[in-house]
Amino acid sequence: MGEPPSKKRGLSNHNMDEQKTELDRTALGPPEIQPEDIQYDPQTDVIGAGSYGTVYRGRCRGQEVAVKVPKKQTLSPQEMQTFQNEIVLMSNNSHPNIIILMGACMQQDKLQIVTEMCKTDLERLIYERRELSLFARMKLCLDAAAGVNWLHEIIQVVHRDLKPANLLIDFRGQVKVSDFGLSQLKPQEGIMQTDSPKGSLVWMAPEVVFRRPYSDKVDVYSFGIILWEVTTRERPFQHLHTHREFIEAVLCAHQRPPIPADIPESLKNLMSSCWDYDPNKRPSFREILLKLSEVMVDCLIEFPAAGAFWKKHFLYPLKKLVENVEWQDFKVCLCSELNIDEAAADSQKFFDHLQSLLLTNVEDLGQKMYVTMQRFDIVSKWFGRFYDPTVGLSIISEINKLMGQDWFHGDLPYEAANSRLGRQPDGTFLIRLSSRDPKNAPFSLSLPKDYHYRIERVEGGLALLEHTFRDIYELREAYRSTYMITPCPKLYSQAYVQAQRSADSSGRIRNSNYDSNGSFTSTEGTPRSAGGFAQAYIGPHDVGGSTGSENNSSSAESNTMS
């Protein structure tokens, strides 16, 4: 039958009384695994090795697993107690961002810890996958912070050895906090003492090195160094070569790694607050989760006003970042910001073109259409602050007007533009949106024979072929008798078709019925405008405080896509 509770917990009977208080705060651990149930080849299955021991790729009862084998296999009673405590701590962490403990072999000379198998670790990932964006790297840090927050608040455990190598990445790309060999249960008062510093010096908090009382804020200090390393993809403190140099520079002179100038201010502030010398000034991991979510918005949405809109509606209400928003939810928030009636806007199809531009497929969510943060950023750069109550209605009205032009093809890819123009005679043209540099060069002029010309934003308007125009309409008129004689036949983009079909059960593309200027009309029949148009097509481009491009030239590109 089953083993007695003391064995399941991995604790010897003579220590049960001393450990009772701590064990009351944990659940029963996993069952003990017999050594014959664990298979691996010590020569070919090595995943990694360190001062503590070696980790192997193995199998246990038909399951692929990771097997951690301590170097020291014959333990004193105190050492065995430490080993058993790690098992107890790991066994009670049922969180998606904490490694799953499957069991352990507790026999002397055959000590092994069996966990779920992961693909890699954060240290390897950030140095080997150079293409990972800052946003993607911050998302990994958010995973790690969620795991540590669970340790601190729910399990009441301090990890004490956080570093990139101890943050594993599973096969779905999710971070798993691992290696609990130095972890401790927090006492009721939250303050701990240490006789000797343990852990990895580079990520170790000053109070631990100096053997002072410490709290869970030691993990926050470590996380600050991790943030810097993940951001820069450089080894921290490489210029310090000896233990004494490190102590004098980092712990006595309070030297920290140099923060890059080209990262969001929110990330700079989070790093510096995490590694503050004073533990009381460091944030909690609950606070870090919110601040990291703000950092992620700032990484993906360039303009502060656009980022503030997203944070207000899709971060702060739930205190959790929503990266992909369904159109209906986005529209409700937009109507609230613009102070317009949603039903009236729907009846006039006021948002139809904006919807077609904002919606995009999200593969991980079953190919459904969402407003993503990245798409929101691009549309904001194309057209300005369409979400701003002071100018938003004018901008959306201008979007409607522009999308209604027979020569404007919206967000049309390069290949599709060539396809539409392929059999057309000289003098046929189309103008489309460009995603390569939407802030400084929002449009492209496309002609037959694979000719594409970038239309740039400059002070005073738009520039094409070294000529400046007040707006896109003046530009079109200027070339009416030369390059822009006949508009290319216009087809609806697939995204627009999908967007309209999602809103019209008949499956037919609906005709727009704005007023003659594409403006939103209120229920009283009076066109609503927020004043002058906010330079969506006229420079300088007023988006989130940007003054537009400083480059006053327009580039002509042959056989290239803008």
Q: Which of 161, 219, 377, 542 is an active site residue?
A: 161
Classify strands 486-487 and 520-521 as parallel, antiparallel or unpaired: unpaired
Domain boundaries, the chain: 1-117, 120-300
Task: For residues 496 and 494, give the distance between their C-alpha atoms in angstroms, rounded to a whole number.
Answer: 5
* pLDDT given at position 262: 95
> pLDDT digits over 385-435, tens only?
999 999 999 999 999 999 999 999 999 999 999 999 998 999 999 999 999
77-to-177, 272, 405, 486 alpha-carbon distances in Å: 27, 42, 82, 88
Task: For residues 218 and 188, give the distance between their C-alpha atoms in angstroms, rounded to a whole number.
Answer: 17
> pLDDT digits over 457-471, tens only?
999 899 998 899 999
Most confident of 158-162, 291-295, 482-486: 291-295
pLDDT band at 24 (very low <50, low <70, confident <90, very high): very low
More confident residue, 192 or 480: 480
Assign a CATH topology to domain 120-300.
Transferase(Phosphotransferase); domain 1 (1.10.510)
Task: For residues 515 and 525, give the distance between their C-alpha atoms in angstroms, rounded to a whole number.
Answer: 10
pLDDT band at 243 (very low <50, low <70, confident <90, very high): confident
* pLDDT given at position 274: 98
- Helical pair 304-314 and 373-383, crossing angle rounded to 10 deg: 140
User: How confident is the prediction for the chain on average, in pLDDT?
Assistant: 82
Q: Longest C-alpha distance within the chain, in Å?
A: 97
CB 80 within 8 A of CB 110: no
* pLDDT given at position 183: 82
Q: Which helix (H) or strand (E) holds 434?
A: strand 428-437
| Known active-site residue 161 | yes
* pLDDT given at position 346: 95
Q: Within the chain, how many helices (H) and strands (E) appear?
A: 19, 23
Task: For residues 56 and 74, give the distance between their C-alpha atoms in angstroms, rounded to a whole number.
Answer: 20
User: In sequence order, what E strands does 79-124 have?
Assistant: 101-105, 112-116, 120-121
Assign a CATH topology to domain 1-117.
Phosphorylase Kinase; domain 1 (3.30.200)
Task: For residues 265 and 271, give the distance between their C-alpha atoms in angstroms, rounded to a whole number.
Answer: 10
